[in-house]
């Protein structure tokens, strides 16, 4: 099977499984949010700021050369596994010992136990790297998608059951840990790739150099994307952070699934494209176009119906999350587009450029969050929409010349979907008061969704028909 067939097969299986698991997870998440309190989500956000940061670093970037390096030897593979074991053990011990200090930083003593339990995930993830790398290297996603779907269903149901029986924040903690465990077991069943670890570092210099850029990039990505919760938790407390965290979670829920989809398919796909073709720039523009046509209407749609979504599905106790949700959803298309650039630069062997891109964001965004946190959840949300789109344009200016295209080529793929989505947004806002029912009525929401869908498709067909048809053709072929 050639690269195009493999990638498209992977896309079909992965999109199908992700869509099914996402739909199920959405339904369960909504119920869980109704059962829990803002403080529960605030505590989890405080804990996961550190946990998720270290998860990005626990491979030291050596998972990338496992996929990208064409002539990887068995000795290199064994030594990489040895390094992963040592790194994850060190992170586990470090988190266990420093948990009380993290709790003291946020002035929330419950965090000590929460962080220590979540740190067990690093012991589990030791055995996840090799099977995942094997699947990515072979662009084999069929059985992987099934495992991830089953994992999402079981862990979501477990979280729901625990929340129902009054476990509070611990339902989220145990659900997360179960997800790590099930995913690791499943991946080892479908892609067994055990090897005896070698703790020697001989011959790994070049791999460490490559991995260091990847690790740096992941750390910088986390700083610019998650420091809002770190800074917000320090200055706002668990309750206010809970509103922001839930708004951020709801706004980014589609992008979370899209990001993992992009990382799991785009990186090996761009790697293969770099090795055997000279059309990387064309593939990137097509991926960008598909993402624009889908993400702009989805996220701007979420923004304009946020009051209805929160009141109907979450309940009155979450009303304070409406405005942050409206604001955060507006910036999500640019964050989704930015996520395509990362695997592209990895795939063409340029992690240094990607790391430099993210360094810019890691410097600017925390400064903005420090200012915005003075105005609570709304202030933090405004930081994203006012600052990040400009950072994305910097990404384009630095990346496009490396693959033989112009930044204006990428901007052209944005224009049609953006204009159509803004028109949809304004139309929905204008017509809202004239529709049947109130904002807390499901019938009212259905009418808004119908108006938005018809408006977006009409504008695209009338003025940007080629963009829409090319996107449909790309998805079909």
Average pLDDT (192-214) is: 78
State yes or no: pLDDT of 144 exceeds 50: yes
Least confident of 367-376, 400-409, 417-426: 400-409
pLDDT band with cut points at 50, 70 and 90 for residue 276: very low
Cα→Cα distances 252→174, 259, 263, 326, Å: 22, 10, 16, 12
For 472: left if phi > 0, alpha if psi spans -120 to 50, otherwise beta; the answer is: alpha
Give the span between the Cα atoms of 169 and 366, in whole angstroms. 27
State yes or no: pLDDT of 351 exceeds 60: yes
CA 389 to mean position of chain CA atoms = 17
Short-list 252, 214, 221, 263, CA closest to 360: 221
Average pLDDT (46-61) is: 85
CA 473 to mean position of chain CA atoms = 26
Give the span between the Cα atoms of 70 and 429, in whole angstroms. 53
State yes or no: pLDDT of 456 exceeds 90: yes
pLDDT band with cut points at 50, 70 and 90 for residue 474: low
State yes or no: pLDDT of 165 exceeds 50: yes
Q: Which residue has the higher pLDDT, 78 or 278?
A: 78
Owner of token pair 């994203």? 384
Average pLDDT (261-274) is: 54
Burial 176-200, CB ≥16 within 10 A → b, else e: bbbbbbbbbebbbeebebeeebbee
Give the span between the Cα atoms of 349 and 318, in whole angstroms. 45
Cβ–Cβ < 8 Å for 173, 44? yes
For 438: left if phi > 0, alpha if psi spans -120 to 50, otherwise beta; the answer is: beta
pLDDT of residue 415: 92
pTM score, two decimals? 0.82
pLDDT of residue 154: 93
Cβ–Cβ < 8 Å for 95, 115? yes
Give the span between the Cα atoms of 99 and 103, in whole angstroms. 6
Taking all residues of the chain, what is their mean pLDDT, rounded to a whole number? Answer: 85
**Token digits of residue 49:** 């700021």
């Amino acid at each position: 099977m050639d690269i195009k067939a493999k990638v498209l097969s992977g896309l079909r299986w992965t999109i199908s499984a992700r869509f099914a698991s996402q739909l199920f997870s959405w339904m369960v998440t909504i119920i869980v949010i109704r059962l829990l309190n803002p403080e529960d989500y605030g505590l989890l956000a405080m804990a996961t700021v550190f946990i998720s940061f270290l998860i990005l670093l626990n491979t030291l970037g050596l998972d990338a050369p496992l996929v990208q390096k064409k002539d990887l030897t068995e000795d290199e593979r064994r030594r990489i596994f040895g390094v992963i074991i040592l790194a994850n053990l060190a992170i586990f011990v470090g988190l266990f010992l420093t948990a009380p200090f993290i709790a003291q930083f946020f002035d929330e003593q419950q965090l000590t136990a929460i962080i220590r339990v979540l740190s067990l995930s690093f012991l589990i993830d030791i055995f996840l790297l090799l099977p995942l790398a094997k699947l990515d290297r072979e662009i084999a996603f069929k059985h992987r998608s099934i495992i991830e779907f089953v994992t999402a269903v079981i862990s979501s149901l477990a979280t729901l059951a625990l929340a129902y029986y009054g476990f509070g924040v611990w339902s989220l903690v145990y659900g997360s840990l179960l997800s790590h465990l099930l995913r690791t077991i499943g991946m080892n069943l479908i892609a067994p790739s055990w090897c005896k670890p070698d703790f020697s570092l001989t011959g790994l210099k070049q791999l460490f150099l490559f991995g260091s850029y990847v690790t740096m990039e992941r750390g910088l990505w986390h700083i610019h994307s998650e420091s809002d919760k770190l800074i917000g938790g320090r200055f706002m407390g668990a309750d206010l952070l809970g509103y922001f965290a839930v708004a951020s979670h709801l706004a980014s829920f589609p992008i979370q699934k899209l990001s993992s989809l992009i990382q799991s398919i785009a990186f090996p796909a761009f790697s293969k494209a770099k090795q055997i073709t000279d059309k990387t720039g064309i593939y990137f523009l097509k991926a960008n176009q598909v993402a624009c046509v889908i993400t702009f209407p989805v996220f701007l749609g979420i923004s304009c119906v946020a009051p209805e979504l929160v009141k109907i599905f979450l309940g009155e106790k979450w009303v304070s999350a409406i405005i942050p949700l409206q604001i955060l959803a507006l910036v999500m298309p640019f964050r989704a587009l930015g996520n395509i650039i990362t695997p592209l630069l990895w795939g063409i062997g340029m992690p240094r450029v990607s790391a430099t891109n993210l360094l810019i964001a890691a410097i600017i965004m925390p400064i903005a969050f420090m200012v915005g946190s003075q105005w609570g959840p709304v202030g933090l949300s405004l930081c994203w929409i006012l600052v990040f789109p400009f950072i994305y344009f910097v990404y384009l200016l630095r990346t496009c010349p490396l693959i033989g295209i112009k930044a204006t080529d990428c901007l052209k793929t944005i224009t049609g979907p953006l204009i159509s989505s803004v028109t949809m947004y304004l139309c929905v806002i204008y017509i809202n008061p004239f529709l049947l029912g109130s904002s807390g009525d499901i019938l009212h929401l259905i009418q808004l969704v119908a108006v938005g869908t018809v408006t977006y498709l009409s504008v695209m067909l009338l003025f940007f028909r080629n963009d829409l048809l090319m996107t449909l053709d790309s998805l079909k072929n």
